[in-house]
């Protein structure tokens, strides 16, 4: 049997060891210092409406409390105002007067018409009598028994009687026709004015009942029973939780690659969950406090934009004011 010669290992060169160690150090430095995703913090927002009354009044009933869920059109509170009730009664009486005036202008009492008919009949009789007298005087004048002055007087009597008959006829026509078109127009306008005044007073009374303009949650109640409030004073605040959205403020240099319709993964720490949301708005903010200088010496400035995103599925427990986080690659 032949003896095996032992294998000899080549010594590791120190250059190889140094190279491996340098590579490991470089990889570690890159891993530690590599740029990570930029986390942007925003918040949850929702439609919010402050409910107020258009008129003043005293609170007589409150039907909704803080935290209650209400539907659109639901009664929230009742107010009372005696002055408005009195004004409504006065407007109702004014409308009755205007309608009575319109009815009076449109018709004449039967007694007045009969009186005018009697006057017209008397005028006709006087005319016939004057004509008969004029005929007799003319015949006597032809026989020489009447002077010319008597004939002239008879003719004037006939003319006078004829004018009286015409006047009586005009008075009868006026009584039968009632008021003139101009007077009817005036009374109709007065009725319309009274109806408008009553509608305004009714609108004031309707404002004493406070309705919910939209469905949602009562996040603030600012009235108490028996309190006297003025017009425009806020009574309730309603938040529509079903239509909440996420809002973020971004510099314009971070908007690259983002557009309306894109989807984002939004983390909500309060709910410990991630929500898929769709971008619905990218809008520049106001001039104040929305600029950031890129260099101390100038060049150009970066403006701030509002980015809104709507959750693609309903999220239980999502409430306005909660923090929202998104990650953007730099």
For residue range 112-127, what is the model confidence (pLDDT) as tens digits? 777 877 887 888 888 8
Question: What CATH number is attached to the domain comprising 322?
Answer: 2.40.30.170
In a domain, 270, yes or no: yes
Residues 120 and 145 in one domain: yes
Q: What's the angle, vertex CA 196, arms to CA 192 and CA 200, rounded to 5?
A: 170
Same domain, 151 and 254: no
Tell me if 127 is assigned to some domain: yes
pLDDT at 58: 94
- Residue at which a domain ends, from 203, 219, 252: 203
pLDDT at 104: 75
End-to-end CA distance of the chain: give it in Å, rounded: 71
Answer yes or no: do 162 and 222 share one domain. Answer: no
Residues 291, 293, 298, 301: is their CA dihedral positive or negative?
Answer: negative
Q: Read off the pTM.
A: 0.60
218-228 b/e with 16+ CB inside 10 Å = b? bbebebeeeee
User: In this predicted model, what pLDDT tens digit does every residue of 48-67 receive, in sequence order?
Assistant: 999 998 889 999 999 999 98
Domain match, 196 and 103 both: yes
Residues 196, 215, single domain; the answer is no
| Separation CA 155–CA 107 (nearest Å) | 39
Last residue of a domain, one of 203, 224, 256: 203
| Burial class of 133 by CB neighbour count within 10 A (0 to 12, 13 to 18, 19+) | middle
Q: Which of 50, 176, 168 is nearest to 112 (CA)?
A: 176
Q: Which of 222, 239, 256 is the last residue of a domain?
A: 239
Q: Identify whether residues 71 and 100 lie together within a single domain.
A: no
Residue 18 domain-assigned (yes or no): no
Q: Are residues 170 and 317 in the same domain?
A: no
228 lies in the same domain as 246: no
Q: Are residues 53 and 134 in the same domain?
A: no
Asked if the structure places residue 31 within a domain, the reply is no
- State the total domains in the chain: 3
Torsion of Cα atoms, 252 then 255 then 259 then 265, to 10°: -130
Is residue 290 within 8 Å of 303, Cβ to Cβ?
Answer: yes
Same domain, 73 and 122: no
Judge whether 61 lies within some domain: yes
- The whole-number pLDDT of residue 120 equals 77
Regions of the chain where pLDDT drops below 50 = 1-2, 7, 288-289, 291, 297
CATH code of 232's domain: 2.40.50.100
Residue 306 lies in a domain: yes
Q: Is residue 159 part of a domain?
A: yes
**How long is the chain?**
330
Per the structure, the complete domain to which residue 272 belongs is given by 38-46+241-328
The pLDDT value recorded for residue 107 is: 63
My answer on whether 271 and 298 are in the same domain is yes
Per-residue model confidence (pLDDT) at position 2: 47
Q: What residues does 327 pair with on adjacent strands? A: 39
CB atoms within 10 A of CB 329: 9
- Whether 74 and 98 map to the same domain: the answer is no
């Amino acid at each position: 049997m032949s003896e095996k010669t032992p294998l000899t290992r080549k010594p590791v060169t120190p250059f190889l060891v140094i190279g491996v160690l340098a590579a490991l150090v470089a990889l570690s430095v890159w891993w530690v210092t590599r740029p990570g995703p930029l986390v942007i913090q925003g918040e949850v927002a929702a439609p919010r409406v402050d409910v107020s009354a258009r008129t003043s009044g005293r609170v007589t009933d409150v039907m909704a409390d803080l935290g209650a869920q209400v539907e659109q059109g639901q009664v929230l509170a009742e107010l009372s105002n005696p002055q408005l009730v009195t004004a409504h009664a006065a407007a109702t009486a004014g409308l009755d007067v205007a309608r009575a005036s319109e009815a009076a202008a449109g018709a004449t009492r039967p007694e007045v018409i009969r009186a005018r008919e009697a006057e017209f009949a008397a005028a006709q009789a006087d005319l016939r009598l004057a004509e008969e007298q004029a005929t007799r005087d003319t015949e006597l004048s032809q026989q020489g028994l009447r002077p010319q002055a008597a004939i002239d007087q008879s003719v004037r009597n006939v003319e006078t009687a004829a004018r009286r008959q015409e006047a009586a006829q005009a008075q009868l026509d006026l009584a039968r026709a009632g008021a003139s078109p101009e007077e009817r127009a005036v009374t109709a306008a007065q009725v319309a004015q009274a109806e408008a005044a009553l509608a305004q007073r009714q609108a004031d009374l309707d404002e004493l009942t406070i309705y919910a303009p939209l469905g949602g949650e009562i996040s603030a109640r600012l009235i108490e029973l028996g309190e006297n409030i003025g017009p425009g004073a806020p009574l309730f605040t309603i938040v529509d939780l079903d239509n909440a959205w996420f809002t973020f403020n971004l510099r314009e240099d971070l908007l690259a690659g983002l557009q309306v319709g894109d989807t984002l993964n939004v983390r909500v720490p309060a709910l410990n969950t991630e929500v898929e949301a769709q971008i619905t708005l990218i809008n520049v903010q106001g001039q104040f406090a929305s600029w950031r200088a890129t260099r101390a010496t100038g060049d150009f400035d970066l403006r701030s934009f509002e980015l809104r995103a709507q959750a693609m599925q309903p999220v239980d427990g999502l409430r306005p004011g909660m923090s929202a986080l998104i990650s953007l690659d730099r």
